[in-house]
Amino acid sequence: MITLTVNGQAHQVDVDPDTPLLYVLRNDLELNAAKFGCGLGQCGACTVLLDDKPVFSCLVPVAALGARKVRTLEGLPKTLPAAFEAEQAAQCGYCIAGMIVRAQALLERNPRPTEKEMRTHMAPNLCRCGTHMRILRAVRRAAEAMGGGVREEARIGAEEK
Amino acid sequence: MTRGGALAVGIVFVCAAGAVAAIAFAWHPAIDEITPPAPGSFDRYLVAEGEDLANLGNCAGCHTSEPSRPLAGGRALDTPFGKVFATNITPQADDGIGAWSSEAFGRAMRRGIARDGRQLYPAFPYDHFTHATDHQIAALYAWLMTRRPIAGRAPEPQLAGIFAFRPLVAAWNLLYLDEGPLPTDGSRPSQWNRGRVLAEGLGHCSGCHTPRDRFGAEDVARAYDGAWTEGWYAPPLNAHSPAVQPWTPEELQTYLHTGLAPHHAAAAGPMASVTRALAQVPEEDVRAIAVYISSLMADAPASKQDKPQPVDRLAVAQQQHPEAATLYAGACATCHDPGAPMMQQGRPVLSWATPLHEASPHDTVRVIMQGLTPPGGSSGPTMPAYADMLSDQQVQDLAAYLRTRFTDKPAWSDVPAAVAEARK
Amino acid sequence: MSTPRNALGRRAFLANALVVTFASSRHALAQDQDKKLPQSLARTPELDAWIRVGADGTITVFTGKAELGQGIRTALTQVAAHELAVSPGQIDLVTADTARTPDEGVTAGSHSMQDSGTAILNAAANVRALLAEAASWQFAIAPSRIEMRDGAAHAPDGRQIGYGDLAASLSLEVEVKLDMPRRHGGKPVIGQNLPRLDIPAKVSGGEAYVQDMRLPGMLHARVVRGPSDGTRVKAADIAAVGKMPGVVKIVRDGAFMAVVADQEWRAVKALNRVQAGGWERPSPPIPAADLRETIHRLPAQDVPIFDYPGPAPPADARSIRVRYSRPHLMHGSIGPSCAMALWENDGMTVWTHSQGVYPLRKALAELLKLDLEKVRCIHVEGSGCYGHNGADDVAADAALAARAVPGSPVRLQWMREQEHGWEPLGSAMVVEMAAELDGNKVASWRHDVWSNTHSTRPRTAGGLLAGGEVDPPFVPPRPGPIPMPEGGGGRNGNPIYALPNAHGVFHFVEQMPVRVSALRGLGAQMNVFAIESFMDELAFATDNDPVAFRLAWLKDERAREVVQRAADRFDWRRRGAGGGGSGTGFAFARYKNLASYCAVAMEVRVDGDSGEIHVPRVVAAVDSGEAVNPDGIRNQIEGGIVQSLSWTTREAVAFDKTHRTSFDWSGYPILRFPSVPGRIDVEVIDRPKQPFLGAGEAAQGPASAALANAVAHALGMRLRDMPLSPERVKAALRPAPVATKQAAG
Ligand code: FES
Ligand code: FES
């Protein structure tokens, strides 16, 4: 039996200790948000917060968690999800839960990121549908709703010209 | 004598020598400013050649700190004497080298003297560039002068005490600068000689792979004996090479060109940026470098061994580090175990991975914590960074486990320090 | 219609009336080809196959199309709600399920709104008319005086009857009648930006995907294969794998193998253990690392795709001839393909994200040697597929695994590397364009396109990966060219421009060096890339503005408006001079020349040092006919543009002689946030009462070409081979090698 704390609640699970957290969240705790995308730390579909850092849950063995706290989309405040709904920021939506979790980590640490900081921060997460523009809009909207905001407009390739 | 004591004596010596040298050698005339030549005035083919050479020397590796400001300098280089900052080498007239004539540029490359006559610090490897041919320097000049001029000056160096006194470098030059082209070794094939000029000249491989003496100069007696660069260990490229499999010219060429060798490992740290630049260099140049450098390792243990068998002491490692064995199974095995798809692609097994065989755990720890990323949009070896996924203790355990399992070398002693340093 | 008041029962009357009207509509159909039933209705004309009204007023609408993340669930609900005059919340939409919904083939080709949207619109209009007629009996007033709204019929005097009550007196077991008048007046639902119905679950961790399904007693499986198509694993120590903790079964049938375990991670561990045995390639070696050259050379069957007449060009006409190409591309779903299967009572149920549940059922029945009725395929959403990816194959894998453990539902998901290695790729393509110019007029035009097939969608067991692995194996169907006007490799090869003396040929290459199938837009992306790049080259050669040049050859009024609107919104007239790394580009196409019109204007900045292309701004205009959900269309176009930028700037599947080497995202990088455009601005042009036109594949071709045109404008030279990668950009900026220089003197 392994004990872990997810969204403020302690759980006991009966799995092999090397089982990556992602499988425990999905199959044992029946939390759907974190998704299997690659299992290789390349796509971010499985992103959760470990203490305050966004991590790939597909690469964290459940036994490695110790007392550290896991937060998934299900346990986050509703500001970002509401902003994603307001911006209709999804096509297939498979990447979206990971996107929201990663954005949450950014806004908790830095409520007023620059456009460039936001884009760099979101870089580990892939979206194949091309929903990027809406995802960025949703993060901007949420930042404002939280009393912060994204500084300056996107100026792509405009530096030094 | 302690290290500190040696340093003190050294400083006194340097001061004395410096005083003399300052008078005798340190004065160089300024070379007149020119109006930046029009980019169109350079031969396009010479410019293209210059681009290859710039990649070969990885100029951008030091002189670019912001991708959007290529070659505009600003990047800090830590030396034992303090910080120096790579300068702006765009053709901007005030802050860059736009006002430098080809003569001024050649003098800087060959002798480490700026256009205005000031000594440059040898963090700029003119002790290597001095071996470049006239044509190479002309090509490099043509390339640099046709880049986009960018304003902005690098900060002044922040050096401790006496080292801030630039004329002192003249004494250094007197001791260490061996000007001019390298002699051809007639007993070696021309490809080897060519590789030597490229590697010892613009390529300045030994700049990272040779340990430095107390004056910051490469210790020629220990050429290619391995050294520290930006917190990474550049392994020996001589008979002390820790590689398990021999570095054949083919294998080394693949590595230099792609950042990944089938029987070694992926390039990491500063070497990753070198291989990225070399990826754009004509294949025959990289081949020549590979021929030359691999010849230096002819006496390394791996080269003598016939067919090394991969070490995999699973049971021992499991017994000594049971918790790390679980970490490995959950976090590493999906990529690194024999049945993993990455291994189906012919990636090297961890038993071959050079960092695990190095005397220090620093490179292993850094790769675990910081991962590997190819530049945006390019394909290449990728490894996620585990710094936020694992605790310091877990990284330490994992490093120890990997060392035990995949090598038959003694356990590392200073892993916690390496983890603490990588965490910084 | 007057209100009959005779002694006949209402039902009898209605039935008679319907028979009569139906008969007359059949008659009309025979006379007037334009009025024939839309495809989906022709196949399933029964009204109650599309819409059912419960006694409690609940309305269930059935569609054979599937939600793929394109928002079809929402759009179809809107269509039904609008025509039925109810709020969308009252509608329960059932999507593709072989036991419940009409057979509408595959959800592909931007057909869903055209096919299912039109079918449901018609069916809903029929139902509303029938309900109104029923109400007219009850109110004893003419149907024209009855207002249908909010799920009830309202009489002018305030009386109302709910749809549920009306339906109780009505049978919908009748055939759909064409030409029912559309609802007019009242609160519109069509044309509104109804928030997508599937999004709330997707942003909150709801059960949204087949990957999220959990059934009681479920087992987890993984299929065992070599690294990519054409390879297979070598025999491993299967007995040892069978003894691993949690391994329930190792399923083998010929070369097919799957491991079934009690926990998912244990199945993964067992899979890796089997794979440790290594792999081999029994198939012939892959001929080259860059297969487009191979495909250009292989024997081909020549299929004419268009012939526009015109006078022969004058003898002194200037001729221009160029070649464009694209490499193999991956669908690259973010979620690897997944299916759930249950073998029970001699029947197989499969929950799948296949784009075609009916064709899949047929293929599975053949594979499992079952009667068609014994197989049920239920669509459940998956990750976006963008065409024929691993969805069908994984359904077969799951079914074979489930058959080995009767009564236990089996969830089988592919690993990332399996998706990358085995999904059928979008075919590499080569296009040669040639034109002759008489002064600054185009006097002839020639389009030659080479590619493999663009569909190997399974319709038989041989079309499934597992079908080729079981013993005895099923033979894969022989691919053939898809006829125009839809076309496969020839899709969109016919220019929309009114060009004289224009001819096109699709050189269909049957032999497939690697596995390929339908990728979003099929040949359209490449053909539009070529045509729209070539239009720019001709505009340049004749010293014309690219937009003005297009308009000069464009006769279709809607097309002209789309072009004009995009250009105006972009402020094309005031665009910069280009050069120095900055440029603007424009491109336009009507998808298949049958579906949505889309024009894209783009601004780029090319970094000469890194070779990277930055896209500060994109403007698009789109006409999809009557816009059911304008924001949904905008979402599709934005997504199409971003995906196309990824294809065009960096994607190419890599091979060596033995296998695909693009085995994960490190070997097949796609666009990430730091490289997406600064802004994308999409204008949706609504065309009320015009037929719905699909928009899902409208933007890719124009976006690719606009990028290439902008890069040409920025660099003063043209890149004709995709991807326009940093390496290619840098190579293009370099002068030719010294040898050429000397030759050039
Ligand atoms: S599933 Fe974890 S990063 Fe892709
Ligand atoms: S919305 Fe489909 S992958 Fe992002």
Check CB contact of B372 with chain A, cutoff 8 Å. no
Q: Are B98 and B92 in contact (CB under 8 A)?
A: yes
Q: Give chain C's domain count.
A: 3
Angle at A91 (CA atoms; ends A79, C531), nearest 5 degrees: 140
Say whether pTM exceeds 0.90: yes
Select the residue of B44, B337, B380 nearest C666 (Cβ to Cβ): B380
Asked whether residue C416 falls in the same domain as residue C438, the answer is: no
C49 and C144, same domain (yes or no):
yes
Looking at domain B314-423, its CATH superfamily turns out to be: Cytochrome c-like domain (1.10.760.10)
Residues C240 and C161 in one domain: no
For residue B148, the chain C residues in CB contact (below 8 A) are 608-609
With beta carbons less than 8 A apart as the criterion, state whether C84 and C124 touch: yes
Topology alike, domains B190-304 and B314-423: yes
A40 Cα to chain C: minimum distance (Å) = 8
Nearest CA in chain B to C416: B341
3-state SS assignment for residue C631: helix
Q: Which atom of ligand 1 is nearest to the CA of B384?
A: 3
Handedness of CA C176, C179, C184, C188 (dihedral sign): positive
The residue written with tokens 């001709």 in the block is C538
Do C404 and C553 sit in the same domain of this protein? no
Where chain C has pLDDT below 50, the residues are 1-34, 738-745
Distance A45 CA to ligand 1 centre (A): 5
Q: How far is C637 from C641, CA to CA, in rounded Å?
A: 6
Q: Which ligand is nearest to the CA of A138?
A: 2
**Would the CB atoms of B379 and C672 count as touching at under 8 Å?**
no
Inter-chain contact A64–B326, Cβ cutoff 8 Å?
Answer: yes
- For an interface test with A, the pick among B389, B394, B398, B401 (most A C-beta atoms closer than 10 Å) comes out as B389
Cβ pairs bridging A and B (under 8 Å): 64
pLDDT at B197: 95
Distance from residue C353's CA to the centre of ligand 1 (Å)? 21
Is there an atom of ligand 2 within 6 Å of C458 CB?
Answer: no
Return the residue matching tokens 């024929």: C388
The two three-digit tokens of residue B293, written as one number: 């450098």
**Closest-approach residue (CA) in chain A for B326:** A18
Confidence (pLDDT) at B20: 54
Q: Which residues contact C274 (CB under 8 A, 6 or more apart)?
A: B339, C224, C233, C236, C238, C241, C257, C259
Identify whether C12 is part of a domain: yes
Contact (CB<8Å) A36/C673: no
CATH of the domain at C404: 3.30.365.10
Cβ-defined contact of B345 to C276 (cutoff 8 Å): no
| C399 and C443 share one domain | no
User: Rounded distance, CA B15 to CA B163, Å?
Assistant: 10
Closest CA to B297 of B338, B236, B340, B354: B236
List, in order of start, the domains of chain A with CATH numbers: 2-74 (3.10.20.30), 76-145 (1.10.150.120)
Pick the residue from chain B with its C-alpha nearest to C275: B339
Task: Domain of residue C643: give its range.
Answer: 429-454+489-732
Q: Is residue C561 part of a domain?
A: yes
Q: Looking at the domain assignment, is residue C556 inside a domain?
A: yes
User: What pLDDT shows up at residue B67?
Assistant: 83
Strand order in the sheet with B82-85: B76-79, B82-85, B158-159
- C535 falls within a domain: yes
Q: What is the mean pLDDT of chain B?
A: 90
C123/C133 Cα distance (integer angstroms): 15
Is C469 a domain residue? no
Cβ–Cβ gap C730/B377 under 8 Å: no
C324-352 b/e with 16+ CB inside 10 Å = b? bbbbbbbbbbbbbbbbbbbbeeeebbbbb
CB contact under 8 A, B340 and C272: yes
* Average pLDDT of the residues of chain C: 92
* pLDDT tens per residue across span C424-454: 999 999 999 999 999 989 999 999 999 999 9
- C385 min Cα distance to partner chain A (Å): 9
Domain residue ranges of chain B, discontinuous segments joined by +:
19-176, 190-304, 314-423
**Minimum-distance CB partner of A85 among C69, C195, C266:** C195
Please identify, among C135, C167, C199, the residue that sits at the C-terminal boundary of a domain.
C167
Give the Å distance between the CA of B379 and the centre of ligand 1.
18
Is C639:A131 a contact under the CB 8 Å cutoff? yes
**Top-tier CATH class for B190-304:** mainly alpha
State how beta strands C91-94 and C59-62 pair.
parallel
Could you say which residues of chain B have pLDDT below 50?
1-9
Question: Is the shortest distance between the CB of C384 and ligand 2 below 6 Å?
Answer: yes
- What value of ipTM does the predicted structure carry? 0.92
Q: Is C259 inside a domain boundary? A: yes
Residue from the list B331, B333, B335 with its beta carbon closest to the beta carbon of A60 = B331
Residues C232 and C378 in one domain: yes
CB–CB of A63 and B326 under 8 A? yes
* pLDDT, tens digit (0-9, with 9 covering 90-100), for A59-108: 999 999 999 999 999 999 999 999 999 999 999 999 999 999 999 999 99
* pLDDT in the model for residue C44: 93
Co-location of C365 and C443 in the same domain: no
Residue B206 near residue B218 (C-beta atoms within 8 A) = yes
Of the partner residues A37, A43, A129, the one whose CB lies closest to the CB of residue C69:
A129
The residue in chain C having the minimum alpha-carbon distance to the alpha carbon of residue B144 is C609
